[in-house]
Structure 1
Amino acid sequence: MNPRQLFLQHLAPTSPSPLMLEIERAEGMYLYDPAGKAYLDLIAGISVSNLGHRHPRVLAAIQAQLDRYLHTLVYGEYVLDPQVQLAKLLADNLPDSLESVYFVNSGTEATEGAMKLAKRYTGRAEIVACKRAYHGSTQGAASLMWPKEFTQPYHPLLPGIRHIEFNCTWCLKEITENTAAVIVETVQAEWGVRPPVDGYLQKLRERCTEVGALLILDEIQVGFGRTGSLFAFEQYGIVPDVLLLAKGMGGGMPIGAFVSSRAIMQVLSENPILGHITTFGGHPVCCAAALANLQTLLDTPYIAEVKAKEALFHQLLQHPKIREVRSAGLLMAMDLGSFDAVLRVIHDCLAQGLISDWFLFNTESMRIAPPLIITEKEIAWACGVILAALDAL
């Protein structure tokens, strides 16, 4: 049986119609199929490969760690150099109150850990989340999801979840002294890229402080330079109580984290001890890769170039069939008005060697979220392919 047949027979499905693009290798901006055809990756594995695929510094860090040790013991018992160096570099580039890092394996695990942390620290049970936000698919994280079409078959999920509209300052009154935490994406990604407006995040920060609720910012998709600063919240003049990280963190390796103050994080270690544990969280190879990834982002001009590249996409993506292009740096949504149009453009682009996608809560928009290393020439080529696909609609 060939790999495509094995895929269909043995890999658990997530949809009835997967793309079925067979990948042989990857390098930089490109994925390659077994015939050697190159595909420019315009979505970076859903905002994961911010430095592109197989960045040399990330590969070197992985190889060096392979020669030292792999798994040693459950997270939090041994002093492991890749973990502590990564935690220090993160803390050095975050506000002083975000000094304590808990490493996990993914974004959804970061969400789960932060939810437990907020309940334990505040002694409250209620969590407020925004509608059309995505924080993960495990049962706790999925409980935060609205609309419920993706979760209804798995109910009952967690009780005590209240949903409000993103960017609605009037809705902030729903946050009360019963609220343990408000969890919100700094930029709503899966709703088709919706940045905060009219001082929304500042007002949200003030309301959380007023009622004693923790503010949890989910930067799983927008962190590590995607919006034009290392962390998106830096552009909005606020500091969260808890920060969620993953996706672009590991340079292509699986890793996530929730970050808070030592005073808040301390509660997970007592009454009871081992309040949150993980076997593979903070895996030494993943931490080594993430350390190299972060150091490279800090050493290179890629983040500083994001805004100019964003502007170039806006300049080139001009077509009567494009209703709107919304963006936060190199996280962009091209609104075409219907899922049929989006699907046709995506498949036309794929045939020409350009990979894109849509959004979980917005099927009328096409996702554009390339590695930050994309060049102006590659942007121009990608936009040309998209415009040709739009002409063919």
Structure 2
Amino acid sequence: MNADLRFLLHMNLRQLFLQHVAQTSTAPLALEIVKAEGCELFDASGKTYLDLIGGISVANTGHRHPAVVKAIKDQVDAYMHVMVYGEFVQSPQVRYAQLLTQHLPPSLNSVYFTNSGAEAVEGAMKLAKRITGRTEIVGFVNSYHGSTQGALSLIGSEYWRNAYRPLLPGINHLNYNSFKDLQFITERTACVIAETVQGEAGVIVPENNWLRAVHDRCKEVGALFILDEIQAGFGRTGKLWGFENFDVIPDILLLGKALGGGMPLGAFIADKSLMDHFTDNPVLGHITTFGGHPVCCAAGKAAFEVLLRQQWDVKQKVALFTSLLIHPQIKAVRSFGLWMAIEFNDFDACKKVIDHCIQRGVISDWFLFASNCLRISPPLVITEQELRQSAAIILEAIENNP
């Protein structure tokens, strides 16, 4: 196929994308990715990109890890979708749930697989109401938990909520890291849902044992303590689970993104005594057609096994990257594990750097609640050479866009 024909086919596909695939912004990147491997993406023209966001913390073990690809192929050869969740004993679900709970505290022993992180949030909200008989839910300013109606009600920004009101009643948003606001967690509160580390706020870390204080306040008033580790889980913070950094154990743990090893998968995990509230009054208290899809569970289990086998030296990589990112226009570099926010004066300055980086073959993005910050959440397998290359291009982008 000659170059002119390839170009025409590419343009036709781009036009079809814009016409027939629902758009979420007025200016999509519209990169036509045809292959991904490790930390690299390849577009239709043959251009190579270093992926510094890993599909938004999805590809922790890299794109298309051989063990994950093999697990997918093996499972497809056996069976794909066979029946609604919970009715058939499906080995990939059972084995993955067993493996996850073997590496979690004893109280997190029952896994409900979902299609996505947002659905995990929805299920946890229902479960908390069912267990406590209460309706009030506490979230936090600048939190992000997904875009479905319940999860959207929890989002800590009126900019994203306002266009879709009325939303769920009884949602209170407190200030993250505020000890004073903990007084608003009361005997009316069914649950508190917090990100272990706030992602879309620009990697905001709980300070001065604040997360422990939230946990203790929940115990005091009988509310469930729910941690959203949809981004923070699976080694992103330098430990297997983000909560391990803060001496707390949630009543319900929310997972997604890297959970599926590149396939769509979410989960909420609790003690069986809590999860059993979904079994009666009403029966089928929470159901899903594709949650825990066998191919997704096979892929996720394979990726998790890779993560457990290999020790990712996250601290060393972060230290290297931050040592290279020194420039007068960089106001701050916040990090918690291999999860970073490079802060600029404003969105325009950040966007110019992002655009230049993409032109030079480095993929990054901004944060929903911190649009002046550059997102860094690459696959944990990223090499020191790739980090040096990325840092050099980011600094070049800053110099070329004063």
Q: Same fold (TM over 0.5)?
A: yes
Separation of aligned partners in 2, 1:267 and 1:322: 50
Separation of aligned partners in 2, 1:314 and 1:32: 27
Separation of aligned partners in 2, 1:252 and 1:64: 16
Counterparts in 2 of 1:100-179, with a 5 A limit? 100-179=110-189
Give the secondary structure class of the aligned counterpart of 1:103. strand
Give the secondary structure class of the aligned counterpart of 1:296. helix
| Match of residue 292, structure 1, among 291, 298, 302 | 302
Separation of aligned partners in 2, 1:89 and 1:169: 36
Separation of aligned partners in 1, 2:248 and 2:155: 24
Separation of aligned partners in 2, 1:290 and 1:24: 22
Alignment match, 1:37: 47
Counterparts in 2 of 1:313-392, with a 5 A limit? 313-392=321-400
Give the secondary structure class of the aligned counterpart of 2:219. helix
TM-superposition CA deviations, 1:325-346 (whole Å, max 9, x none): 0011111000011100110000
Q: Given residue 160 of structure 2, which amino acid in structure 1 is its aligned partner?
A: F
TM-superposition CA deviations, 1:50-86 (whole Å, max 9, x none): 0111000000000000111111110011111100000
1:186 aligns with 2:196: yes
Give the secondary structure class of the aligned counterpart of 2:373. strand
Alignment match, 1:77: 87
Identity percentage of aligned residues? 57
TM-superposition CA deviations, 1:295-337 (whole Å, max 9, x none): 11000122xx111111111111011100000011111000011
Separation of aligned partners in 2, 1:306 and 1:358: 22
| Match of residue 229, structure 1, among 239, 261, 268 | 239
Q: Given residue 270 of structure 2, which amino acid in structure 1 is its aligned partner?
A: S
Alignment match, 1:218: 228
TM-superposition CA deviations, 1:8-34 (whole Å, max 9, x none): 110111000111111111111111011
1:60 aligns with 2:70: yes
Stretches of structure 1 that go unaligned for 5 or more consecutive residues are none
Q: Given residue 24 of structure 1, which amino acid in structure 2 is its aligned partner?
A: V
Give how far 1:294 is off.
0.6
- Give the TM-score normalised by structure 2: 0.96
Q: Given residue 275 of structure 1, which amino acid in structure 2 is its aligned partner?
A: G
Give the secondary structure class of the aligned counterpart of 1:295. helix
Separation of aligned partners in 2, 1:165 and 1:311: 30
Give how far 1:146 is off.
2.4
Separation of aligned partners in 1, 2:73 and 2:176: 43
Query: What is the aligned residue count?
Result: 391
Give how far 1:355 is off.
0.2
Give the secondary structure class of the aligned counterpart of 2:113. strand
Separation of aligned partners in 1, 2:258 and 2:319: 22
Structure 1 runs, 4 residues or longer, greater than 3 Å off: none
Give how far 1:357 is off.
0.1
Separation of aligned partners in 1, 2:156 and 2:214: 19
Stretches of structure 2 that go unaligned for 5 or more consecutive residues are 1-10
Q: Given residue 157 of structure 1, which amino acid in structure 2 is its aligned partner?
A: L
Counterparts in 2 of 1:202-217, with a 5 A limit? 202-217=212-227
Separation of aligned partners in 2, 1:350 and 1:279: 38
Name the Cα RMSD after superposition: 0.7
Alignment match, 1:241: 251
